[in-house]
């Protein structure tokens, strides 16, 4: 609620609120390089996030009536003014996020004295708000290469027992940031470690996490490590992390949300479930969590910390183009996840982002990636998965890592603390890689086509020698191979029917003694004449081709999906040999629907497969082999369980059973159940 706007001398200023935007009328226009000052009196109601839903609010823990507060989009922020669109004042409709200016902040936050506050920037008055012990631990964490507690789980439990009517004021300073967000709670455990990087401006970054006991044991194990891991991977692809702190706060149970230096991340383990027979087991076991929860937590932290690079530093317009931050960020998140642990996945084994995107790209109701944020249909796949997948294809298959990584880093460095538009990304990736990618942007970003290439046929040829002594016999053989003997003739013979010629042998003449493939002198003379008439080089070429005796293939490809793609091929010889070959997307430049590729090999080809490593996002692999293969699968007669199984809970239950048993052998129950998960 805005109550009043005053200028630098305290005089009221005119303002008009237009839904989610506000216009303030300056007494006179502000010229480039000039400054003005004004103050806004305003108030903000904190909502219960789980009920009203939003990007901030409070999270209530009914079991012990405690709260975590996390404040975002809580003050009037300056709209962006650009040289390509003027004021960006599209309304906030909920999805197209924010278009913001960089600024410096000094914020004083007064909260109950037993709260711990996490906020954008650096704490300015540690001695006023932290205990001596906490300050000592914080100092120690500044050289720790593993997470260290500033507030331990036990201390956090003590803090949340009793309230206080005293307050403390925490002061934070942040320079050159797009926004300001913070979180506060008496429930917070706090850990930290240092991230060192090769950078003169910001050689050290303090990575921190804030979370309640309800988030344990996942959070102390993974959160701060995930923060540091993100900086290691993302900086390699862009620039050194540009701020002094990087924070992960467990503010809620669902997804995640990003701000400069601070991120709010969901995912907590299952609450402890007491056994009916043994409601209070000795040494209450840890809460358990599923595999997908663990990967979900690490994934969401990578994603939200990653946003501090895109778009908090490379300041693209989120209100207009979701994909410029979500897509690029999801692309780097995917890389960082694969570098966290092998087979990192949220769903199934080896379920790659390209398999996921192919399902989306063949679905109904799509709009191109280049659609304005609030008008996107299927928001996640369109704004996140598809642009991220396109960059995976661009990096691994179209450009290769060397060209892509150089060009992508160039984009990040050119546009950090600036406002790139899509064309700036497209141009930089082309200009810094030296490769024309217009076809790529057109197909992936401006259309709803998908990748689906079929091999429709392979035709095999041998080079004709033109020599009748060789060719007539080959033609004869070919004809015999291709066309079976007439059925009527076969059955006549089976019936023992004699032909007239058989009955009257005197009817035979030269034609019965020589078949149509017999070479005559006239044929031989014609061949000699042909060789004589050729130029010397023509004759040499013909004779060499005849000697090489190569196999010539014409492979017919059809572009069923419409999206132009390079063609990675696996060529298998009849001798079992395998050859990998990459045909660049330029093969489609004259006809984007059907092309034929000629291959010359010195041994025969048995089969060709397009995209054997599943790198192009091809949506239908049933037409990728020639000759076609039989589809093999299993019919499921029963509905399958989903993959949210909490394996850790199952294992603990097994252990508990084992401990309760009399028989010693019960302890030998394997920890890892048989079968996959």
Work out how close the CB of 97 gets to Zn ion at its nearest, in angstroms, rounded to a whole number. Answer: 9
DSSP states of 612-654 = TT--S--S-GGGSEES---------SSPPP-S---HHHHHHHH
CB of 184 to Zn ion, least distance (A): 24
Give SS3 for 312: coil
Query: Residue 216 and residue 221: Cα distance in Å, rounded?
Result: 8
- Token output for 487: 């059925």
Q: For Zn ion, which is the closer residue by CB, 317 or 326?
A: 326
Instruction: Indicate the residue among 160 and 326 with the shorter CB distance to Zn ion.
Output: 326
Q: Among residues 326 and 611, whose Cβ is nearest to Zn ion? A: 326
Nearer to Zn ion, 156 or 301 (CB): 301
Helix axes 401-415, 422-433, angle to 10 degrees: 130
Closer residue to Zn ion (CB): 369 or 571: 369
3-state secondary structure 119-177: ECCEECCHHHHCCHHHHHHHHHHCCCCCCEEEECHHHHHHHHHCCCCCEEEEEEEEEEE
Residues 6 or more apart in contact with residue 267 via CB below 8 angstroms: 218, 250, 253, 293, 296, 297, 300
Task: Give me 459's structure tokens.
Answer: 């035709």
Per-residue CA distances from 424 to 324, 376, 392, 428 (Å) = 11, 22, 19, 6
Closest residue (Cβ) to Zn ion?
Answer: 326
Closest distance to Zn ion from the beta carbon of 340 (Å): 18
Question: Under 8 Å CB-to-CB from 255, ≥6 apart: which residues?
Answer: 266, 300
Q: CA torsion sign, 603 to 604 to 606 to 611?
A: positive
Taking the complex as a whole, how short is the minimal distance between the CB of residue 115 and Zn ion, in angstroms?
Answer: 28
Element holding 110 (H helix, E strand): strand 103-112
Smaller CB distance to Zn ion: residue 59 or 326?
326
Least distance (Å) between residue 373 CB and Zn ion: 12
Judge residue 551's burial from the number of C-beta atoms within 10 Å of its C-beta, 0-12 exposed, 13-18 middle, 19 or more buried: middle
The strands making up 189-196's β-sheet, listed across from edge to edge, are: 148-151, 189-196, 204-211, 245-249, 262-265, 256-259
* Least distance to Zn ion, CB of residue 303, Å: 5
List Cβ neighbours of 389 (8 Å cut-off, separation of 6 or more).
353, 354, 356, 357, 617
Residues 328, 332, 333, 338, CA torsion sign: positive
For residue 231, the minimal CB distance to Zn ion (Å) is 17
Of 138 and 412, which has the nearer Cβ to Zn ion? Answer: 412
| Residue whose CB is less far from Zn ion, 188 or 323 | 323
Positions that interact with Zn ion (CB under 5 A): 326
Contacts of 610 (CB under 8 A, 6+ apart): 453, 455, 557, 567, 568, 569, 618, 624
Query: Are the C-beta atoms of residues 369 and 326 closer than 8 Å to each other?
Result: no
Q: Which of residues 326 and 471 has its CB atom nearest to Zn ion in the complex?
A: 326
CB of 316 to Zn ion, least distance (A): 12
For the CB of residue 279, give the shortest distance to Zn ion in the complex, in Å. Answer: 41
Query: For residues 114 and 326, which CB has a smaller minimum distance to Zn ion in the complex?
Result: 326
**Backbone φ and ψ of 451, nearest 5°:** -90, 120
CB 283 within 8 A of CB 277: no
- Of residues 5 and 305, the one with the C-beta less far from Zn ion: 305
Minimum distance from CB of 437 to Zn ion (Å)?
25
CB of 610 to Zn ion, least distance (A): 34
Show the tokens assigned to 326: 């979500």
**Closer residue to Zn ion (CB): 170 or 331:** 331
Please state the closest distance from residue 24 (CB atom) to Zn ion, in A: 31
Q: How far is the CB of 329 from Zn ion (least distance, A)?
A: 6
Please report how close the Cβ of residue 317 comes to Zn ion at its closest, in angstroms. 15
Q: How many CA atoms lie within 13 A of 509 on its CB side?
A: 2
Left, alpha or beta for 364 (phi > 0: left; psi -120 to 50: alpha)? beta
CB of residue 112 vs Zn ion: minimum separation in angstroms? Answer: 32
CA distance 23 to 40: 12
CB of 384 to Zn ion, least distance (A): 7
Task: Give me 568's structure tokens.
Answer: 């990675």
CA proximity to 248, closest of 269, 231, 264, 267 = 264
Q: Of 46, 29, 38, which is closest to residue 8 (Cα–Cα)? A: 38
Q: Which is nearer to Zn ion, 323 or 415 (CB)?
A: 323
Choice between 255 and 562, CB closer to Zn ion: 255
Q: What is the 8-class DSSP label of residue 514?
A: S
Instruction: Return the number of the residue (326 or 615) whose C-beta is nearest Zn ion.
Output: 326
- Nearest to Zn ion of 205, 312 (CB atom): 312
Q: How far is CA 286 from CA 46, 218, 282, 652, 653, in A?
A: 33, 10, 12, 9, 12
Residues with Cβ within 8 Å of residue 559, at least 6 apart in sequence: 452, 453, 565, 588, 592, 593, 594, 595
Closest to Zn ion by CB, 255 vs 400, is 255
DSSP letter, residue 115: -
Minimum distance, C-beta of residue 306 to Zn ion, in the bound complex (Å): 8
């Amino acid at each position: 609620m805005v109550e009043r706007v005053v200028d630098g001398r305290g005089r009221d200023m005119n303002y008009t609120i237009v839904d989610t935007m506000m216009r303030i009328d300056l007494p006179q226009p502000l010229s480039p390089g000039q400054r003005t000052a004004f103050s806004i009196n305003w108030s903000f109601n904190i909502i219960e996030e789980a009920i009203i839903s939003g990007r901030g609010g409070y999270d209530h823990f009914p079991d012990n009536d405690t709260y975590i507060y996390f404040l975002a989009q809580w003050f009037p922020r300056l709209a962006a003014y650009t040289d390509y669109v003027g004021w960006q004042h599209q309304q906030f409709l909920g999805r197209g996020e924010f278009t913001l200016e960089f600024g410096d902040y000094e914020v004083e936050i007064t909260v109950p004295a037993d709260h711990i506050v996490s906020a954008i920037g650096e704490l300015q008055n540690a001695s006023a708000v932290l205990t001596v012990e906490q300050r000592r631990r914080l100092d120690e964490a500044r050289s720790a290469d593993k997470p260290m507690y500033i507030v331990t789980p036990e201390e956090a439990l003590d803090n949340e027992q009793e309230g206080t009517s005293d307050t403390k004021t925490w002061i934070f300073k942040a320079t050159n940031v797009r926004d300001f967000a913070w979180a506060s709670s008496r429930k917070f455990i706090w850990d930290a470690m240092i991230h060192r990087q090769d950078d003169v401006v910001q050689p050290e970054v303090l990575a921190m996490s804030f979370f309640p006991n309800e988030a344990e044991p996942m959070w102390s194990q993974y959160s701060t490590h995930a923060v540091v891991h993100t900086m290691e991977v993302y900086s390699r692809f862009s620039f050194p992390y540009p701020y002094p702190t990087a924070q992960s706060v467990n503010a809620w149970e669902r997804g995640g949300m990003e701000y400069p230096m601070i991120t709010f991340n969901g995912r907590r383990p299952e609450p402890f479930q007491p056994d009916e027979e043994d409601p209070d087991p000795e040494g209450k076991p840890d809460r358990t969590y599923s595999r997908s929860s663990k990967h979900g937590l690490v994934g969401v932290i990578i994603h939200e910390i990653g946003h501090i690079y895109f778009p908090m530093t490379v300041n693209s317009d989120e209100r207009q183009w979701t994909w410029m931050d979500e897509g690029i960020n999801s692309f780097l998140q995917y890389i960082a996840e694969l570098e966290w642990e092998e087979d990192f996945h949220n769903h199934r084994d080896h379920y790659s982002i390209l398999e996921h995107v192919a399902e989306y790209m063949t679905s109904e109701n799509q709009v191109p990636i280049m659609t304005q944020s609030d008008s996107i249909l299927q928001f996640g796949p369109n704004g996140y998965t598809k642009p991220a997948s396109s960059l995976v294809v661009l990096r691994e298959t179209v450009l290769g890592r060397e060209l892509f990584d150089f060009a992508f880093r160039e984009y990040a460095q050119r546009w950090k603390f600036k406002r790139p538009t899509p064309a700036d990304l497209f141009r930089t990736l082309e200009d810094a890689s030296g490769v024309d990618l217009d076809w790529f942007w057109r197909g992936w970003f401006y259309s709803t086509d998908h990748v689906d290439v079929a091999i429709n046929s392979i035709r095999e040829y041998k080079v004709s020698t033109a020599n009748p002594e060789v060719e007539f016999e080959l033609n004869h053989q070919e004809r015999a191979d291709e066309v079976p003997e007439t059925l009527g003739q076969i059955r006549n013979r089976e019936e023992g029917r004699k032909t007239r010629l058989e009955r009257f042998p005197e009817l035979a003449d030269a034609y019965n003694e020589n078949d149509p493939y017999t070479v005559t002198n006239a044929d031989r003379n014609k061949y000699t004449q042909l060789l004589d008439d050729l130029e010397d080089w023509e004759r040499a070429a013909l004779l060499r081709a005849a000697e090489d005796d190569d196999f010539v293939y014409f492979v017919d490809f059809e572009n069923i999906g419409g999206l132009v793609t390079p063609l990675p091929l696996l060529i298998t010889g009849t001798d079992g040999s395998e050859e990998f070959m990459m045909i660049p997307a330029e093969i489609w430049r004259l006809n984007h629907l059907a092309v034929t590729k000629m291959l010359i090999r010195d041994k025969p080809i048995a089969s060709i497969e397009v995209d054997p490593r599943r790198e192009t996002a091809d949506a239908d692999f049933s037409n990728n082999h020639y000759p076609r293969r039989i589809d093999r699968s299993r019919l499921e007669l029963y509905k399958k369980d989903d993959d949210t199984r909490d394996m850790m809970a199952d294992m603990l239950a097994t252990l508990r059973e084992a401990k309760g048993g009399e028989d010693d052998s019960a302890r030998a129950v394997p920890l890892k159940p048989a079968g996959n998960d």
